[in-house]
Structure 1
Amino acid sequence: MPEMLQVALAQVKTHSRRFIAIGLAVMLAVGFLVATLLVGSSTQATLKASVGQSFNKADAVVSSTNYEQPLNQKAYDAVKQLPGVSSSFAQINAPVEASTTAGSFNAVLQNTSQDLSLESAVLSSGSLPGSPTQVAIDEKTAERQQVKLGGNLTLSNSKGQKLEVTVSGLFKPSNDPHSSGAGQMLAPLATVTPLATSPLSFTTIQLKLASPLDQNSRTAIQQAVEASGFKNITVLTADEQTTETMKGMTGGTDVLTVVLLAFAAIALIVAALVVANTFAVLVAQRTRELALLRCVGASKSQIRNSVLVEALLVGILSSILGVALSIAGMAALVSSLRTIPDYQFATFALNWQAVVAGLVVGTLLTLVAALVPARAATAVAPLAAMRPADDAALNNRGGRTRLVVGGVLLVFGGLALTAGALTSNLLIAVPGGAASFIGLLLCANLFIPALVSAVGKLATPAGVPGKLASLNAVRNPSRTTATAAALLIGVTLVSMMLTGAATARSTFDSSLEGRYPVDVQAYDGKYTSQQLEAVKALQGVTQAVLIPLVGKLGGEYSGTPVYGISSADAALLLSTPQNQVKPAQLLMPKGTKASSLTLDSGSSHQDLPVAQASTAEFPVMVNLGTAPAPSGALQQVWMKLTPGQSTDELLTLQKKIAAALGVQDSQVSGGALIKAGFNQVIDILLLVVTGLLAVAVLIALIGVANTLSLSVLERTRENALLRALGLSRGALRGMLALEAVLIAGVAALIGVVLGSLYGWLGTQSALGPLGPVMPNLPWLQLLAVLLIAAVAGLAASVIPARRAARLSPVEGLATD
């Protein structure tokens, strides 16, 4: 064994170029896997810092799943004295109107925690309120409303109860999207209680525990709350509660976890394919070298052990570098995001599982892939192994087996992917898509060389180099396929992510549009045409229309106001077809049980069938063609805004709208602020995932460079013979460059088509519960991928072509 260890070390030193190629493939494959796992932990940490900010310091979060039975003091008393509960906090959110000498604005008043370890607010100046006449306010609202430390505010609720308070401190605004549409305030419980809804109810009950939440403590807490009269409650960790909150945005499905599992699966597949592909090109060369060692006396086990030692050394070193590269890259990406004001809540979270997985998977992949040349050299007699090995062509046993296995995987994987998309089941779609892609690669010998040869006819005007480049594609199909596979994997992955991200973005936008259909609305008043024009003239407002009060409902909904809108205005303002009220019907909030209701409009009474809006917060609407507005009716102003505005821009615009309409800020609200908050979170997730694209592109480019370099090494004698027959150095370089561009172009085209299909079907599988998922192809980005792939193929050919051209024909023919 020591002798073979020396042989292994000598091989690594002597043939460093080959092992560098393997090392780069392993390093980038491991980097991609670790980056994917880090995306999971960092995404969860980012969501915890935004969606879950109000409870992210709790060990256990108790909440009610029945909105008609919120948690109350009885439930709180039942859990705060339990053994193992070191401190507790029952959170109350009370909507209030805050008035200053300059005007008024909407705010959410939240009670402070007596235990600072459960207080999520981060103080920036002053102090947290310590008496019932003090409040703290978020610094952005304070700046916008010109509220200063020591200033006075009047708080009032919907019942008209008022309270004079003094500002004791400023804190950093919450990143929770639900808090985006109003000012944020903190006050002691004694201040919040009189202004909160009665009977008093809690949003969540947060607990600090003596030990982490386990099944026993979870059960004890749940039983205690249930014994106090609550049946529909959950007891979750802060991470689990964050996931539950996100599920509320995705049709009750934990899309986040499933998508991240899908990325991890994709990373494993990419890692396996890239490393195996790089080793496949080395099989012929390594087989002859290892067979020579057997001829001089090495046993089969010694040969296998020497190869495994080589692979172990390369695998461990490359895996360490891959893990380090991934951690540094993800940390740099998240740090750069944190410098952007709207994305300061982006959080990098390192987890040991990602490090261990990267080291173990990288080393095992290298070891498994290294068994191929060892098996090839030891499976036959040494002298027979010295002869060139046959490729797995379509007409031999290995090729036929590969084709049959690939066909089975392609058919059944494609069916599973389609079934997963139709049933919105990502757990079926991901393995189905992976199997179909592996099957496609196994069958690639059928179509890639033929396509390269067909496209190669375009290179005929280039003369002899062009003809040779085209002929090379079909003369050695396995080599052509191996070279194309490296880029095909990367381009498919990049195209899938680009298409999936674009489709997911449009689907999320449609979902948010359905939940918050009106961007901004001003409440009931009498507005003039001049005021309406002033609003339309504001930068950031694209449409503004008057929505008159046309009547009220009778019967069980007696007194409920009904607003009228024309078909033309509905088409301008409401992009969700479900909310565009048709003539001769009432559009009621989502969840309405009645099938028909009576509309009382002046002296007119109409029984109208009921249709449901996309959200429960939508007002009762009727088409103005069915019930015209009476003269002098109160009106609302509904506005559509320019998409893509940040929360700060929207809050500034809200103030300008209130001024243009001559009303207080508190009379102007809408879904745009909440949508902007959620879009910030979605943007963060997409930006972090986009960081994976850089790694995928590197894998593809290095894969192409590796296979081209190894292909040129393999063809040293062949290229030298061409030179000896009269092919010039420039023509040889041109032949290799054209061959690389042809292979890269075909691989990229196939990859873009496949990636677009996988991206759409994968998004349909993940986001199907939200509604119809229409494919959204980012054409410009996909075209850029095609161009970059062609240029990458050309660039990857430069170094190997230069090396081949510089070698003299005599030296090349003497090479073995």
Structure 2
Amino acid sequence: MGASILVAALSSAFGVVLLATTTFLGAVLRADPYLAGSGTLEVVVLILAVLLLGVAVYVAAIVTANTFATVVAGRTRRIALLRLIGASARSQRAEIARQGLGVGALGAFAGLLVGTVLSLAGAALAVDLLGLPGEVDDGIIQPALVAPAVAVTLTTWAAAWAGSRRVLTVTPLQALGGAVEASHEAVAQRTGRNRTALALLLTGAALLVLGILAGLVSPLGVVLAFFGGILSFTGLALGATLVMPPVLRLVGRAFGRSATARLAAENALRYPERSSRMAIGVVMGVTLVVMFAVALESVKTMIRISGGGTLEPEFEALIDTFSAVMMVLVGVSAVIAAVGLVNLLTIGVVQRRRELGLLRALGVSSGQVRGMVLREAAHITVAALATGLVLGILYGWAGAQSLLGSIAMPPAWSSPTFVWPSIPLVPMLVVVGATALLTIVAAVVPTRLATRVTPVQALAE
């Protein structure tokens, strides 16, 4: 549960810092003699903060739900034994939900403290460096800062409840087994969940198209596109067990035909639930970063075109600074997703002790086991990176098109305007490099655990 506490703490601290920063910026704007009469900028900053907080909580909820779903799979035998002696499935699910509430409350409280300290330190530093009036940072500490902690606690509790839904299907006969993940055939038979995922995906895609079309008339089309993106990605996340296996299979062919590579590829495909839960968090992180990078670069390109191919140095520096700040803020959600991948890989190795012990008993060396786990992590992250890059470019273009489609641009100087997606090289290289680093970091703990498994101990469990 340590990683789940960390996810809750990161989300809570992020929310506290965002709200405190919004309050601080509002005070700075009100203190400025030229901007004090307009509340538009304050509203824009507040909306941006709420949207970013919502994205962080959304990512944290999916990561937490996937973590608890994996934990439940590892507790199959224990849950089945309790069912065998009379415990009900609902009581077991309620126990897991209570654990989620405790984890969420602990992480959110820690995040509230850390976020408050960071906000106070940041405001004091800004006042000193920028020479602002001392009273600007007086209203940073306010009761509203508790809101992110409460939201994260409730979201973690709800995510634990959603992730533990599999408890209802555990039977007493499964007490004879161990960690049981649903097979590919069992996943394909979940018609209710698959239909819901398809409905969300199609509804979100329709809203995206409507947002793009509405953007040809008004910049408010970006609101429709935003909700279309949320719904369509939720459908992808819910139906990840159908979407990710084909990508994983395609990526697996690039890892060669050695025994270790084939084992790693088959492990990722044998239980699509486990591998899809690991991959979808990275897909979210990559999609978010690439989406904002492509959208901001596309907007910058269109502004440059409207200015005759050049930008004023001061204006370009302002846009670049804003883009950098946005990338850092969105990067927090990517870090949350990365923590989820590390946690799920570690839990997966712990739950597969008997499998790893059997491989060791059959003559597989500790080095080969280490290579298998590392390749498995690389397999999942590469598949997630490729999927995230495609989705991020698509969502980023949709956002820029729905925002700028109604604005007249050269050479015709008439709307509607078609916005070509601009792909920034540096952020893309950073995303690829960060994903490669994540693969190595995520595999450190699992590979150490895997090589410590002795055949006798593992097979005795």
**TM over 0.5, shorter chain:** yes
How high is the TM-score relative to the length of structure 2? Answer: 0.83
Quote the offset at 1:467 in angstroms: 1.8
Residue 108 of structure 2 is matched in structure 1 by 319
> Closer, same or farther in 2 for the Cα pair 1:435/1:324, shift >3 Å?
same
Tell me the amino acid that sits aligned with residue 214 of structure 2: T
User: Which whole-Å CA distance do the structure 2 matches of 1:417 and 1:40 have between them?
Assistant: 29
Residue 412 of structure 1 is matched in structure 2 by 203
Specify which structure has the bigger relative contact order, considering alpha-carbon pairs within 8 angstroms and separated by 6 or more residues. Answer: 2
User: Which whole-Å CA distance do the structure 2 matches of 1:755 and 1:434 have between them?
Assistant: 13
Residue 358 of structure 1 is matched in structure 2 by 148
Residue 218 of structure 2 is matched in structure 1 by none
For the pair 1:814 / 2:451, whether they are aligned, the reply is no
Residue 466 of structure 1 is matched in structure 2 by 261
> Closer, same or farther in 2 for the Cα pair 1:330/1:793, shift >3 Å?
farther
Give 1:557-636 correspondences, 5 Å limit: 575=308
Per-residue displacement from partner, 1:253-304 (whole Å, max 9, x unpaired)?
x765554443343233212212112112112123432333344455566544
CA contact (8 A) 1:281 1:707 kept: yes
CA contact (8 A) 1:730 1:805 kept: yes
Gaps of 5+ in 1: 1-18, 57-237, 248-253, 514-574, 577-639, 646-674
Quote the offset at 1:42 in angstroms: 4.5
Quote the offset at 1:764 in angstroms: 3.3
Task: Kindly indicate which of the two structures has a greater share of residues assigned to strand.
Answer: 1
Q: What count of residue pairs does the alignment treat as equivalent?
A: 444
Give 1:725's match in structure 2, choosing from 356, 359, 362: 362
Give 1:120-269 correspondences, 5 Å limit: 238=37, 241-243=38-40, 246=41, 258-269=47-58
> Closer, same or farther in 2 for the Cα pair 1:688/1:39, shift >3 Å?
farther
SS at match of 1:54: coil
CA contact (8 A) 1:760 1:775 kept: yes
CA contact (8 A) 2:74 2:351 kept: yes
Quote the offset at 1:354 in angstroms: 5.3
Task: Kindly indicate which of the two structures has a greater share of residues assigned to helix.
Answer: 2
Residue 279 of structure 1 is matched in structure 2 by 68
> Closer, same or farther in 2 for the Cα pair 1:382/1:413, shift >3 Å?
same
CA contact (8 A) 1:275 1:365 kept: no
Identity %: 33
Per-residue displacement from partner, 1:348-403 (whole Å, max 9, x unpaired)?
77464653332222222222233356554456554456656562745557633222
Give 1:498's match in structure 2, choosing from 285, 293, 317: 293
Tell me the amino acid that sits aligned with residue 306 of structure 1: E
Quote the offset at 1:426 in angstroms: 2.6
Residue 2 of structure 2 is matched in structure 1 by 20
> Closer, same or farther in 2 for the Cα pair 1:510/1:42, shift >3 Å?
farther
Gaps of 5+ in 2: 216-220, 409-416
Tell me the amino acid that sits aligned with residue 499 of structure 1: V
For the pair 1:761 / 2:430, whether they are aligned, the reply is no
Per-residue displacement from partner, 1:746-773 (whole Å, max 9, x unpaired)?
1012112211221232233345555445
SS at match of 2:34: helix
CA contact (8 A) 1:752 1:786 kept: no
Quote the offset at 1:781 in angstroms: 1.4
Give 1:481's match in structure 2, choosing from 259, 276, 283: 276
CA contact (8 A) 2:80 2:175 kept: yes
User: Which whole-Å CA distance do the structure 1 matches of 2:243 and 2:88 have between them?
Assistant: 41
For the pair 1:29 / 2:11, whether they are aligned, the reply is yes
SS at match of 2:456: helix
User: Which whole-Å CA distance do the structure 1 matches of 2:434 and 2:286 have between them?
Assistant: 10
Give 1:283-298 correspondences, 5 Å limit: 283-296=72-85, 298=87
> Closer, same or farther in 2 for the Cα pair 1:443/1:810, shift >3 Å?
same
CA contact (8 A) 1:40 1:260 kept: yes
CA contact (8 A) 2:244 2:276 kept: yes
Residue 213 of structure 2 is matched in structure 1 by 422
> Closer, same or farther in 2 for the Cα pair 1:341/1:31, shift >3 Å?
closer
> Closer, same or farther in 2 for the Cα pair 1:371/1:460, shift >3 Å?
same
User: Which whole-Å CA distance do the structure 1 matches of 2:207 and 2:373 have between them?
Assistant: 40
Quote the offset at 1:806 in angstroms: 1.2
User: Which whole-Å CA distance do the structure 2 matches of 1:703 and 1:413 have between them?
Assistant: 25
Tell me the amino acid that sits aligned with residue 262 of structure 2: K
Tell me the amino acid that sits aligned with residue 30 of structure 1: S
Residue 371 of structure 1 is matched in structure 2 by 161
Per-residue displacement from partner, 1:714-747 (whole Å, max 9, x unpaired)?
2111111111111111111111111111211110
Give 1:636-655 correspondences, 5 Å limit: 643-645=312-314
Give 2:374's match in structure 1, choosing from 724, 737, 747: 737
User: Which whole-Å CA distance do the structure 2 matches of 1:439 and 1:509 have between them?
Assistant: 36
> Closer, same or farther in 2 for the Cα pair 1:765/1:262, shift >3 Å?
farther
> Closer, same or farther in 2 for the Cα pair 1:644/1:699, shift >3 Å?
same
> Closer, same or farther in 2 for the Cα pair 1:378/1:705, shift >3 Å?
same
Residue 601 of structure 1 is matched in structure 2 by none
Quote the offset at 1:427 in angstroms: 2.4
Structure 1 range deviating more: 806-815 or 769-778: 769-778
> Closer, same or farther in 2 for the Cα pair 1:741/1:265, shift >3 Å?
same
> Closer, same or farther in 2 for the Cα pair 1:325/1:502, shift >3 Å?
farther
Tell me the amino acid that sits aligned with residue 448 of structure 1: M
SS at match of 1:53: coil
For the pair 1:713 / 2:387, whether they are aligned, the reply is no
